[in-house]
Structure 1
Amino acid sequence: PLGTPGKGICIKEKNNGLFIVINLVGRVFMKPVDCPFRRIDEELAKIDKEGVIIVDFHAEATAEKQAMGYFLDGRVSAVLGTHTHIPTADEKILPKGTAYITDVGMCGAINSVLGMKIEDSLKRLLYGINYRLNPANSNFQIEGVLIEIDLSTYKAIRIERIKEKYLDFDSMSS
């Protein structure tokens, strides 16, 4: 909504090519915001050139993410679900050429609860109090997707999940 921090859309042009990333927030099980379906229609209507369009859909409900994927199929290059931190195994190219995955995963500690210290998360769940969550800082991983896009059509050709594990966090941060 108007007044919310951030931009919601980033447009970059390089070598006569347009690269656009749009961030949407879902409404199911989330704090109320603009309708992401109507909002994406408004944003796409403002774009006057063709290019690679990646939609980061920050949402809780898998059904809402899947519906967005089909809603945008053929209109954007990829719809990538985020927010739950747990990668899903449903990456695919939708019928009209949009790459889709319900959740790309997270970058964070392997032995953690969504990147936070296990003990902190357990205290919060066991005692029902708003206990402070601290980031876990042991072995970590980077999760995401690699997407191949045909630059003549801006349709996805391939999507592949990636996961890289790093065993020594301390040496990476120094």
Structure 2
Amino acid sequence: IFMGDFINIDCPFRTVDSLLKKFENELSIIIVDIHAEATSEKSAMGWYLDGRVSAVLGTHTHVQTSDERILPQKTAYITDVGMVGSIDSILGVKKEKVIKMLLTQRPVSFTVEKKNIVLNSVIIELDEKTGEALSIKRVNTPFNI
């Protein structure tokens, strides 16, 4: 949606269809990471692959969503897993740097914020034989480095 004509890539839906066909009957567990800006793209991919893969995990926005669920055909889904980075930052970068860039409209050297780190993830329980998702749980663990 946001890339427009700036990048020449194939449709992710056709690409995943091709990959699933290539590995048909070879894998019981398939986890798809959809790296996209728009939540609608991630949601569409989740519904499109429901029952065909074990899990669809959205990434990119660095903000963990609270919509984890098992879709009707037993695919685990979350719109965005989140990040490992500082909660007192902008996408893991020192907030002052990003604000300066936005205010000046000039490039700024980014610096990673290292305080108040959070580990976002999910734990998914899968049936080893069928690949069906049995449960999905968000992980949101703070720690310091």
Q: Which runs of 4+ in 1 moved over 3 A?
A: none
Aligned-pair identity (%)? 51
Q: Aligned AA for 2:66?
A: A
Q: Deviation of residue 150 (structure 1)?
A: 1.2
Structure 2 residue 122 is matched with structure 1 residue 145: yes
Q: Aligned AA for 1:91?
A: E
Q: Indicate the structure whose relative CO is greater, using CA pairs within 8 Å and at least 6 residues apart.
A: 2
Counterpart for residue 49 of structure 1 = 26
Q: Aligned AA for 1:102?
A: T
Please give the alpha-carbon distance, in whole angstroms, between the structure 1 residues aligned to 2:60 and 2:142. 20
Q: Which runs of 5+ in 2 are unaligned?
A: none
One of 158, 161, 168 as aligned partner of 2:135 = 158
Please give the alpha-carbon distance, in whole angstroms, between the structure 2 residues aligned to 1:131 and 1:142. 26
Q: Aligned AA for 1:43?
A: L
Counterpart for residue 71 of structure 2 = 94
Count how many residue pairs are aligned between Structure 1 and Structure 2: 141
Q: Which runs of 5+ in 1 are unaligned?
A: 1-27, 170-174
Counterpart for residue 81 of structure 1 = 58
One of 45, 51, 64 as aligned partner of 1:68 = 45
Q: Aligned AA for 1:95?
A: P
Q: Deviation of residue 110 (structure 1)?
A: 2.1
Q: CA RMSD in A?
A: 1.1
Counterpart for residue 24 of structure 1 = none
> Which structure's residues are more often strand, by fraction?
1
Counterpart for residue 2 of structure 2 = 29
Conservation of the 8 A alpha-carbon contact between 2:28 and 2:129: no
